[in-house]
Amino acid sequence: MRKLSIILGLIFAVLAVILSVLPLYKLAFIPAILAAIFGIVAFLKARNQDLPTHVIQVVFLLTIISLSLATYKTIFTVAEVGDTKELKQTEDKRKEEAKEELEDIIITD
Amino acid sequence: MKFKLTLLLLLAALTFSYGQDNRAFKAGEKLIFSAAYNMSGILTDVAEVRMETSEMNTSSSKLLHLKCTATTYSSFDSYFKIRDLYESYVNPRTITPYLYNREINEGGYYKFVKYKYNHKTNRVNSVIKKKTKNTASGFWDKKENVKINGGTKDIVATIYKIRTLDIKKAPIGASDSFTVLFDNKQTKFRFKLLAKETINTALGKKECYKLAISTSGTDVLKGSNSNLLWLTADENKIPVFAKFKIAVGSGELKIKSATGLKN
């Protein structure tokens, strides 16, 4: 049970760190919370059995890093639209074409 | 008494069905939305959607240019870049469309669709263009003359047409349907007035009409009451909030700003 908790905790903690650096950083909260839960389970088991907790500390460290990064990005990241130069050119081109196409129409109603 | 009541309800339903002239928007209106996509239950803002109106003058007529664009935020551009343009040139009074353009660029996928309406013959000259490696020009073209029903509109004109409906006279539960031409196929979209709700938006606390949107004969929209639209319960009928559930997932559309309003 302790070993399984450590393995799952490590997997979720690494996943949380990866997600927290990607644009999908909000998703990092899910594996980070799971990593923390498995970390606590592993820590309690290790303490009861008087076993070393070095790897569990790594799980907690990674969890804290991912949670801090995801929280920081959630609060301070401002969503901005990227380069729209091409889209603007497309809009202008289509508008010119539309003007020519609509030259012959007569609105009756 | 019963007859009078039925007549009154029928009149109210008809009023919802046959909206009057456009009193909801004018040229120069700019609505900006933020689109969020649901990923594992967490909503992530992925794109900005703009709805703009402007005037288009030809030598013989004055048209209203309705333009909708969708652009992914810069952080998503390297993963899945979206630069979509949907536009319709309509009669400013009745929102009858005359020309429709759809040019989509979604993560490398390109498609261009053009409809030129002929309302006398109820036909549409359609051009569909896609990118392909199989031709020398790099494009695949399809030109078609499509027969449409009277009143069939494109998706952009339909969205704006809903705003011109006289919803305030419609009873809760009233519904209306519109035929939309999409990818050369006519699809029936049904709008049902579910309730009147007050919601918090970026424009402040707004009393809104809550409408449910459903389709028949296609599975573009999922669920019966999963696609919802909130329009402000005033003369402008601004779409302030929308929830959608489509084949590839679900999400929300929230208004960020609204300028150039008619009322």
The answer to whether the CB atoms of A105 and B58 lie below 8 A apart is: yes
Taking the C-alpha atoms of residue A17 and residue B158, their distance in angstroms, rounded to an integer, is 44
Q: Is the pLDDT of residue B219 over 90?
A: no
Residue scoring higher pLDDT (B194 or B248): B194
Q: Is residue A26 domain-resident?
A: yes
Q: What is the predicted pLDDT for the residue at B11? A: 41
Burial zone of B138 (CB within 10 Å; 0-12 exposed, 13-18 middle, 19+ buried): exposed
For B179-218, the pLDDT digits (tens) are 999 999 999 999 999 999 999 999 999 999 999 999 887 7
SS3 category, B28 = coil
pTM: 0.86
pLDDT band at B12 (very low <50, low <70, confident <90, very high): very low
Task: Indicate the residue type of A83.
Answer: D
Q: Which structural domain, as residue segments, surrounds residue B50?
A: 19-256
Interface of A with B (CB under 8 A): 23-24, 26-27, 29-30, 77, 79-84, 86-87, 90-91, 94-95, 98-99, 101-107, 109
- Count of other CB atoms within 10 angstroms of residue A25: 21
- Interval B101-110 mean pLDDT: 94
**CA of B179 vs chain A CAs: smallest distance (Å):** 20
Q: Is the pLDDT of residue B42 over 70?
A: yes
The chain A residue lying nearest B57, using CA atoms, is A99
Q: Is residue A29 domain-resident?
A: yes
Q: Is the pLDDT of residue B5 over 50?
A: no
Q: What is the predicted pLDDT for the residue at A109? A: 65
Ordered alpha helix ranges (H), B130-257: 155-164
Q: Is residue B229 domain-resident?
A: yes
**CA of B253 vs chain A CAs: smallest distance (Å):** 14
* Tokens representing residue B219 in the block: 């599975």
- Interval B92-98 mean pLDDT: 94
Interface of B with A (CB under 8 A): 34, 39-40, 42-45, 48, 56, 58-63, 65, 67, 69, 71-77, 79, 81, 83, 85, 87, 89, 91, 93-94, 96, 98-99, 101, 103, 116
| Structural domain count of chain B | 1
**CA of B193 vs chain A CAs: smallest distance (Å):** 29
Q: Which structural domain, as residue segments, surrounds residue A27?
A: 2-79
Look at residues B256, B186, B194 and name the one whose alpha carbon lies nearest to residue B220.
B186
- Interval B216-243 mean pLDDT: 88
For B71-88, the pLDDT digits (tens) are 999 999 988 999 999 999
Q: Is residue B6 domain-resident?
A: no
Element housing A63 (H / E): helix A54-76
- Interval A64-87 mean pLDDT: 93
Lowest-pLDDT range of A35-44, B11-20, B224-233, B253-262: B11-20
| Structural domain count of chain A | 1
Q: Is residue B50 domain-resident?
A: yes
Q: Is residue A101 domain-resident?
A: no
Q: What is the ipTM of this complex?
A: 0.81
Q: Is residue B14 domain-resident?
A: no
- Interval B243-249 mean pLDDT: 86
Residue scoring higher pLDDT (A1 or B144): B144
